[in-house]
Amino acid sequence: MAIPDARDRRRRSPTHDELRTWRSFIETSERVKRVVADRLQQDSGLSTGDYAVLLALSEAPQRRLRSSFLATEVGWERSRLSHHLGRMERRGLVQREPVASDSRGAEVVLTEEGARLFRAGSAPHLRAVRAVFAEALSAEQLAALEDAMRSLDAHLRREDIG
């Protein structure tokens, strides 16, 4: 696909090629995410939401984070996180504890069971990422895709549109 010049970028609507590429990006990335999520659920009983929360907590100091920071880390609204944490608490994966210095604050703490399930699910999850995503691309394609994603991320940050 040819790189559009400055005149083409001023267009109000995407070109046919841009729309075709956009649709391919959306459909393929959604399919990859769905297949990896299905494998994660089958292999470990964890949803992608569970995994995101457990990953953030496993990387945090003392395996604990304030709820508001955890919401930012996983990219969720606080209400969505609160409901999800309730389900995870009932399964014994996390617990919420009040913050001693702030009566309104709470920290989310990774339990031993949550850490065990996260460790057990990580190896099959990473194998699925490799099988579904990495093995489909050559080293050059992976590098080009990484470059494209960095450009897109930089554009979103620069334009303050994302």
Q: What is the pLDDT of residue 83?
A: 96
What CATH number does the domain containing 123 carry? 1.10.10.10
10-residue averages of pLDDT along the chain (162 residues)? 57 89 97 97 95 97 94 94 96 92 86 96 96 97 97 86 64
Q: Please count the structural domains in the chain.
A: 1
Q: Is residue 28 domain-resident?
A: yes
Instruction: Give the Cα-Cα-Cα angle 32, 115, 72 (nearest 5 degrees).
Output: 60
Q: What domain range is 44 assigned to?
A: 24-159
**Residue 13 resides in a domain:** no
Q: Is residue 15 part of a domain?
A: no
pTM of the model: 0.82
Instruction: Answer whether residue 6 is part of any domain.
Output: no
With CA atoms as reference, report the closest residue to 107 among 156, 61, 52. Answer: 61
Residue 125 CA, distance from chain mean position: 13
Alpha-carbon distances, residue 25 vs 19, 30, 48, 138, 152 (angstroms): 10, 8, 20, 18, 12
